[in-house]
């Protein structure tokens, strides 16, 4: 153990600390597998006091700190590859308070999203942020990335559900931001600065989450769609006729991989695009509206096949086709892109980008899927087996440059919901002006004057 760690142990004899190679490997990276982990050590504080103490020690010792949640991040934000101390929130995972009048749940930041969803349900309410990593990702990580997911079309991103935050800044100061207030016109809302800051300003230690009433029973529908312009018409029609909870898409290449990973084939034939949609269907009238929508789209030729779930098991099987994509692609070491354009710009953007990819990289397996109802597309390039890692990354960075140009023509963003982290850092300047980046740097310098909070990420 180094002198610096010995000093930390002297200051906090009860602090759980490890330099075990297995822990360093496990906690030194997120879902990106590009950077070999090389942390100084892993610390698991159990209280706000310990978090503050670690941050103060890190300032004195000049040690960088990487806040670590569930490490399901896809942008390299929780990677510790340069001798940083990983500060894991794993042990701070309790519900602290439920208030039925305010409809808020106050939790420690290391609580898993799914545990929060379950805790809300125990009180007859829901916490509506939701996505496939729910079992592992943590509220602190969700706040730090302003996570989106599959129900944004109805409920918005994480930001919308954060009524209050406790945050330890880069100097070790504890801020109690907004305290659950609905109205609070008292100057800059620092809570919203922390949301999406990717661990570069401070450590989220507690969150007060707004909850809401559960939606009525819903129906899940899978649609096979012949072309992107038809998909947009289906989307417009669905929004017009139904109360949507989700509208997600994937291509036949995505279906190929998810089927190879054990999902059930939905249709005998293959189609270019598929949509999983979930919408309110509380009674027979609402169910009939769903069926009428489907038949209308079929008659128009916008939909060529479909399936409506008639049980929870069938609904789960349809959702697996969409939610299982990330895991099914993981063995192929995908280079991930997570972009957004205005919904209306999706068809033109996709057509242009796919044409470029086909021209420049005809042998790449490119898998498109995502939250198309939010204009958020995931473009995963799979690593061909005959290319080494370094050349693959080089070619994918060229793909990202093409994406950046195409996004610029369509007014889009290089990161919709995964964050900038390390993966997209070289392209931050394509979506944020020099003036904006200078302001961001200035803000970071105030919150974290010694630059110890997740250095090298985002900025």
Question: Minimum distance between the CB of residue 456 and ligand FAD, rounded to whole angstroms?
Answer: 11
Beta bridge partners of 249: 275, 370
Q: State the nearest-atom distance from the C-beta of 194 to ligand FAD, in Å.
A: 8
Q: Does 203 bind ligand FAD (CB under 6 A)?
A: yes
Q: C-beta of 385: minimal distance to ligand MLT in Å?
A: 21
**Residue closest to ligand MLT (Cβ):** 326
Q: Which is nearer to ligand MLT, 55 or 74 (CB)?
A: 74
The number of beta carbons lying within 10 Å of the beta carbon of residue 394 is 11
Least distance to ligand MLT from the beta carbon of 129, Å? 13
Choice from 50, 84, 278, 417 touching ligand FAD (CB under 6 A): 417
Min dist. Cβ of residue 287 to ligand FAD (A): 28
Answer yes or no: are the C-beta atoms of 63 and 452 closer than 8 Å: yes
CB of 231 to ligand FAD, least distance (A): 19
Which is nearer to ligand MLT, 172 or 419 (by Cβ)?
419
378: partner contacted, choices ligand MLT, ligand FAD, none (Cβ within 5-8 A by kind): ligand MLT
What token pair was written down for 419? 């964050």
78 binds, among ligand FAD, ligand MLT, none (CB under 5 to 8 A by kind): ligand FAD
| 321 part of the interface to ligand FAD, by CB under 6 A | no
CB of 192 to ligand FAD, least distance (A): 14
With CB under 6 A as the contact rule, which of the stretches 65-73, 95-103, 264-272, 284-292 interacts with ligand FAD? 65-73
Select from 37, 45, 70, 375 the one that contacts ligand FAD (CB under 6 A): 70
> Residues in the site for ligand MLT, rule: CB under 6 A?
74, 132, 325-326, 336, 338, 370, 378
Positive or negative: CA dihedral 93, 97, 202, 35: positive
Question: In the stretch 126-145, what mask flags binding to ligand FAD with x, by CB under 6 A?
Answer: -----xxx---xx-xxx-xx
CA distances from residue 3 to 7, 9, 61, 198, 394 in whole angstroms, order as listed = 6, 10, 10, 29, 39
Instruction: Report yes or no: 455 and 63 within 8 Å, Cβ to Cβ.
Output: no
Residue 246, interface with ligand FAD (CB under 6 A)? no
Tokens representing 433 are 């002006």
370 binds, among ligand FAD, ligand MLT, none (CB under 5 to 8 A by kind): ligand MLT
Cβ atoms within 10 Å, residue 240: 8
Would you tell me which residues interact with ligand FAD (CB under 6 A)? 30-31, 66-74, 77-78, 89, 109, 131-133, 137-138, 140-142, 144-145, 147-149, 198-199, 203-204, 326, 417-418, 421, 454, 457
């Amino acid at each position: 153990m180094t002198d610096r760690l010995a000093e930390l142990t002297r200051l906090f004899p009860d602090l759980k600390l490890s330099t075990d190679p297995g822990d360093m490997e496990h906690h030194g990276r997120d879902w990106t597998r590009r950077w070999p982990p090389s942390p100084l050590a892993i610390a698991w504080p159990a209280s706000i006091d310990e978090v503050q103490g670690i941050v103060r020690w890190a300032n004195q010792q000049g040690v960088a700190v990487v806040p670590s949640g569930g490490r399901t991040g896809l942008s390299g934000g929780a990677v510790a590859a340069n001798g940083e101390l990983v500060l894991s929130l794993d042990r701070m995972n309790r519900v602290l308070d439920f208030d039925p009048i305010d409809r808020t749940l106050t939790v420690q930041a290391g609580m898993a999203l799914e545990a929060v969803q379950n805790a809300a349900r125990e009180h007859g309410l829901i916490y509506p942020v939701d996505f496939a990593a729910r079992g592992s990702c943590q509220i602190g990580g969700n706040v730090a990335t302003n996570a989106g997911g599959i129900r944004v079309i109805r409920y918005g991103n994480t930001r919308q559900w954060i009524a209050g935050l406790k945050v330890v800044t880069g100097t070790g100061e504890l801020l109690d931001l907004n305290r659950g207030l609905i109205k609070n016109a008292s100057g800059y809302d620092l809570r919203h600065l922390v949301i999406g800051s990717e661990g570069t300003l401070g450590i989220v230690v507690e969150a007060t989450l707004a909850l809401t009433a559960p939606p009525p029973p819903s129906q899940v529908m899978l649609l096979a769609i012949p072309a992107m312009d038809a998909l947009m018409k289906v989307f417009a029609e669905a929004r017009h006729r139904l109360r949507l909870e989700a509208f997600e898409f994937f291509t036949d290449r995505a279906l190929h991989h998810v089927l190879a990973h054990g999902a059930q084939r939905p249709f005998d034939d293959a189609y270019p695009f598929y949509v999983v949609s979930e919408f309110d269907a509380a009674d027979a009238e609402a169910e009939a509206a769903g069926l009428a929508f489907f038949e209308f789209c079929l008659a128009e030729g916008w939909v060529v096949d479909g399936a409506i779930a008639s049980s929870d098991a069938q609904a789960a099987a349809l959702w697996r086709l969409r939610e299982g994509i990330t895991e099914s692609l993981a063995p192929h070491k995908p280079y991930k892109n997570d972009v957004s354009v205005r919904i209306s710009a999706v068809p033109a953007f996709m057509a242009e980008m796919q044409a470029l990819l086909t021209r420049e990289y005809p042998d790449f397996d490119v898998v498109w899927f995502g939250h198309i109802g939010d204009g958020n597309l995931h473009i995963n390039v799979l690593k061909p087996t005959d290319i080494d890692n370094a050349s693959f990354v080089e070619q994918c960075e060229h793909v990202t440059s093409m994406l950046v140009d195409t996004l610029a023509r369509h007014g889009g963003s290089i990161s919709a919901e995964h964050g900038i982290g390390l993966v997209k850092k070289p392209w931050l300047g394509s979506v944020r002006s020099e003036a904006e980046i200078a302001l961001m740097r200035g803000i970071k310098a105030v919150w974290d004057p010694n630059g110890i909070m997740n250095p090298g990420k985002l900025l």
